[in-house]
Homo-oligomer: A and B are copies of this chain.
């Protein structure tokens, strides 16, 4: 069982898996070599030291490896430190990414099932076929279920992309029938695929960051490429339908300065932009409030990207506070 770094205590023995964030060597005052490590997991980080069998251990793992560590917690200069007696490399497939990175609080498989069911509401055969091709693409689905939705602003946790995608699709279903003349099939498809390219744009196996193609091309273009390659496999996919679907992906950021090369020009694109932006902002603020507001305070610190403080009101008993967000899987529209 995983021991989390924010729970270790002086004098305890530790036997668990960690990620090596930094690795360097030093010399003791008596001239012996030792290894200095920074170990991390999703809960925090700690210094580690290897004083014995340095030569043996040193070659057996590298920075950015996951490792199995045995050792003892000591206190040095007011900080806890791990004196490591055994360390060995562990393969990525033998660890749980969620032990090392923040992870959605929701059930990933349940959310995914829910999204697949929503995609089955689509009646248009070409769009059905298209989504089917994505669901059959196992490597894609694996990444789609684990990726965060952003490195910094919203849904910044494993499963965040799926959570945001599901949330947006639910919002679309709630709102689409409010206006006359919107294309339901197109909107469901677009909401499911709108951030598709993030599976290629972001890396999340060592830290949440951008891939080379992510920085140079961006998820909008990467998504268009994945989409085009699936459409290509469908005989007679209508050209006009493909153009509109791509337009929804291209324009969903809503304005040039947010990296959309086109602004929304159809009613569906306008709705998709507003609901996507609202979902990202509300999640981003909720995450910020949850992690940054000190107890007893009604104000968040200043949020530099949103350029404002946020206020957390308290309400009397009488108020109808929304406490029960719909659970995945039990959504009944």
Contact = CB atoms under 8 A, between A and B. Distances in A.
A266 interface: yes
A250 interface: yes
B270 A313 contact: no
A278 interface: yes
Contacts of A109: none
Nearest to A182: B322
Contact of A318 (B125, B274, B281, B322): B125
Contacts of A181: 286, 321-323
Contacts of A243: 212-213, 216-217
Given A265-B311, A286-B267, A311-B216, A320 B256 contact: no
Interface residues on A, range: 35 or more
A171 interface: yes
Given A221-B250, A271-B282, A320-B124, A309 B261 contact: no
Contacts of A13: none
A184 interface: yes
A160 to B, nearest CB: 15
A213 B239 CA distance: 9
A185 interface: yes
Interface stretch (A31-39, A51-59, A69-77, A172-180): A172-180
- Give this chain's copy count: 6
Contacts of A184: 319-322
Interface in A223-245: 224-225, 228, 238-240, 243-244
A257 interface: yes
A170 B267 CA distance: 19
A250 B214 CA distance: 13
B215 A309 contact: yes
A261 B221 contact: yes
Contacts of A220: 261
A26 interface: no
A230 to B, nearest CB: 13
A313 B282 contact: no
A212 B309 CA distance: 11
A3 to B, nearest CB: 28
Contact of A320 (B171, B183, B239, B311): B183
Contacts of A282: 179, 267, 270-271
A285 interface: yes
Contact of A308 (B265, B267, B275): B265
Contacts of A323: 180-181
A155 interface: no
A298 interface: yes
A285 B261 contact: no
Interface string A307-333: 111111101101111111110000000
B179 A286 contact: yes
A23 interface: no
Nearest to A277: B274
Nearest to A322: B182
A-B pairs, 4 with minimum CB distance: A274-B278, A184-B320, A216-B247, A180-B325
8 contacts: A124-B319, A181-B321, A184-B321, A184-B322, A265-B309, A266-B313, A270-B285, A271-B278
